[in-house]
Amino acid sequence: MSEYVLEMKDIVKRFPGVVAVKNGQLNLRPGEVHCLVGENGAGKSTLMKILSGAQPADSGEILLSGESISIHNPHHAQQLGISMIYQEFNLSPFLSVAENIFLGREPRLGKTPFINWSKMYQDAREILGRIRVNLDVRKPVNECSVAQQQMIEIGKALSFNSKIIVMDEPSATLTDHELDALFALIRELKEQGIGMIYISHRLEEIFTIGDRVTVMRDGEYIATKPVAEVTREDIIKMMVGRELTHEFPKELFERGEERLRVEGLTRTGAFQDVSFSLHRGEIVGLTGLVGAGRTEVARAIFGADRIDGGQIVLDGKNICVRSPQDAIHHGIGLLTEDRKNQGLILGMTVRENTTLANLASLVRGLFVNRKRERLVTISYVRDLQIKTPSIEQTAQNLSGGNQQKVVLAKWLFTESKVLIFDEPTRGIDVGAKVEIYRLMNDLVRKGVCILMISSELPEVLGMCDRILVMHEGHLGGELSRDEATQERIMQLATGETLAAMA
């Protein structure tokens, strides 16, 4: 018997114009959490899609408990005990928790075609009980939180008696509290001997939950190490192939005149009486716990949601923003946190997505200046290190992190006065983050002001000149770069006042 539940050897996968995986290697022990890391486009998701039967490999070998097998499709993978939890879940929103777990395999009443509902509910409860998840199994999935949906996916994996569970960036959409629950669940699954492959760009998670870590770079296998034997710096060096000296290349600029001011901004049920200003030369952070109203404030300034009260003042003039078109017209851009749904048109190319929001600037006479359009796109692809075989690649074929970079390029090209970035580096690798921060510096130097919404406190502390902290729909306080610390931000985010802290 092999010591490994899974071995992947010399896996190769090509797409037109790219070798996504050149020599994929990975093995997994029962009860182990094996972290898989690498830059955007390194081939992590592709390797896992091969394991889960979603895509065939061009060559290579997969062994399950020492036995060589070929995986035909996702259904076959599931039967072999391999489950994949995708970031975009595969659940049916209007069906109940229990129906989702047993979809297509519902227990029947005797030999009849009728579903045995009570048995199905009971089995679903039993499965969720095994992972200590307390959830009404009759509830429709669209009433469950993202974290709960993830638990349901894991429950579903267990119902297939999975020996191997793959989680591709499971933490990207979770709050800290939910993340703790996920880690508790992962520990529970370890106890049950299930091996897990865990992909994340948040390297600190490796040290919390991982046993071993495998690094990929440009489709190549770099190394596998026990987590106890490596440091964060070691991992970064293996990922990017060089030392990364400044994770936060902050440049300080002179604070200029005020560009944007919001006064008493209110949207009933979402946030109340929010007032702040943004000046030339600064990056202002907007932070707080998930659900504190940060994204809602951004959407309101961008005209995506109606406001019930308050004023938006741009360059000293009251402006009326009724729609995102109005906002763009005034020079306000919003990079949304949900890139898949709001940021990109997946069926269009990198070039089309990049220039979409500001095509007018490329029009000469009746025609779009295609040559300039190509040059503009090429320069963003280079600056942001977007990994793509060409600017004519469709966005949907890019890796998750590279799609995010295209959204960023799109907003950079609009020549906005005010840019609101909502979680700009989520899903972006450590090396590319630095490039994005550098671009922010360039924008600020040119007079753009940036409002950065982020839950990543090191990034907020590293890059912002001032930090606004929201708590339950209010601005709980403001900290300057010099006075801000993780502790003070957390205190404000949880409702302590500045006076109480003094």
Question: For binding to Mg ion (CB under 5 A), which residues are involved?
Answer: 45, 399-400
Q: Give long-range contacts, CB 8 A cutoff, 24+ apart: 493-502.
A: 493/287, 493/288, 493/289, 493/292, 493/469, 494/289, 495/471
Give the footprint of ligand ATP on residues 2-21 (CB under 6 A): 15, 18, 20
Which CB atom, from 19 or from 490, has the smaller least distance to ligand ATP? 19
Give residue 236's Cα distance to chain centre. 19
Please state, in angstroms and rounded to a whole number, the distance separating the CA atoms of residues 258 and 449. Answer: 9
Minimum distance from CB of 399 to ligand ATP (Å)?
A: 3
Q: Out of 171, 354, 399, 455, point to the residue binding ligand ATP (CB under 6 A).
A: 399
Cβ atoms of 242 and 67 closer than 8 Å: no
Q: Does 288 sit near ligand ATP (CB under 6 A)?
A: no
44 is a contact residue toward ligand ATP (CB under 6 A): yes
What's the closest the beta carbon of residue 378 comes to ligand ATP, in angstroms?
17
Q: Are 85 and 165 in contact (CB under 8 A)?
A: yes
| By CB under 6 A, residue 400 contacts ligand ATP | yes
Give the three-class secondary structure for 334.
strand
* Token couple for 247: 């994770």
103, 86, 92: which is closest to 156 by C-alpha? 103
Least distance between ligand ATP and beta carbon 89 (Å): 16
**Cβ 172 to ligand ATP, closest distance in Å?**
10
**Structure-token pair, residue 158:** 């267990």
Q: Which partner in Mg ion, ligand ATP, none is near 20 (CB below 5 to 8 A by kind)?
A: ligand ATP
- 38 near ligand ATP, rule: CB under 6 A: yes
| Residue with Cβ nearer ligand ATP (131 or 439) | 439
- As a whole number of angstroms, the longest Cα–Cα distance in the chain is 77
Shortest spacing between CB 484 and Mg ion, in angstroms? 32
Q: Which residues lie across from 104 on neighbouring strands?
A: none
428 vs 493, beta carbon nearer ligand ATP? 428
CB of 172 to Mg ion, least distance (A): 10
Task: Give least dist CB 38 to ligand ATP, A.
Answer: 5
- Asked if 46 is part of the footprint of ligand ATP (rule: CB under 6 A), the reply reads yes
In the bound complex, which residue of the shown chain has the CB atom lying closest to Mg ion?
45
Inter-residue long-range contacts of 89-94, CB under 8 Å, 24+ positions, other chains counted: 89/149, 89/150, 89/153, 90/153, 91/141, 91/149, 91/152, 91/153, 92/141, 93/140, 93/141, 93/142, 94/140, 94/141, 94/142
294 binds, among ligand ATP, Mg ion, none (CB under 5 to 8 A by kind): none
155 binds ligand ATP (CB under 6 A): no
Least distance between ligand ATP and beta carbon 46 (Å) = 3
Residue number closest to ligand ATP, CB atom: 401
Give DSSP secondary structure letters for 172-240: TT--HHHHHHHHHHHHHHHHTT-EEEEE-S-HHHHHHH-SEEEEEETTEEEEEEEGGG--HHHHHHHHH
> Would you count residue 401 as binding ligand ATP (CB under 6 A)?
yes
Query: Could you tell me whether strands 317-319 and 332-335 are parallel, antiparallel, or unpaired per DSSP bridges?
Result: unpaired
Q: What is the Cα–Cα distance from 210 to 228, expressed in whole angstroms?
A: 9
Per CB under 6 A, 42 contacts ligand ATP? yes
Cβ distance 418 to 332 under 8 Å? yes
- The interface region with ligand ATP, picked from 37-45, 105-113, 115-123, 334-342 by CB under 6 A, is 37-45
Q: Which is nearer to ligand ATP, 377 or 416 (CB)?
A: 377
Q: Which is nearer to ligand ATP, 15 or 248 (CB)?
A: 15
The CA distance from 358 to 131, in Å, is 49
What's the Cα-to-Cα distance from 69 to each of 14, 26, 486, rounded to whole Å?
21, 15, 49
By CB under 6 A, residue 402 contacts ligand ATP:
yes
Least distance from ligand ATP to the Cβ atom of residue 243, Å: 21
Count interface residues toward ligand ATP (CB under 6 A).
Answer: 18
18 contact, one of Mg ion, ligand ATP, none, CB 5-8 Å limit per kind: ligand ATP
Would you count residue 397 as binding ligand ATP (CB under 6 A)? yes
Check binding of 384 to ligand ATP (CB under 6 A): no
Strand partners, 302: none
Residue 43 binds ligand ATP, judged by CB under 6 A: yes
Distance from C-alpha of 416 to C-alpha of 157, rounded to nearest angstrom? 45
In the complex, minimum distance from the CB of residue 55 to Mg ion, in angstroms, rounded to a whole number? 13
* Ramachandran angles phi, psi of 186, nearest 5°: -60, -40
Which residues here bind ligand ATP, judged by CB under 6 A? Answer: 15, 18, 20, 38, 40-46, 387, 397-402
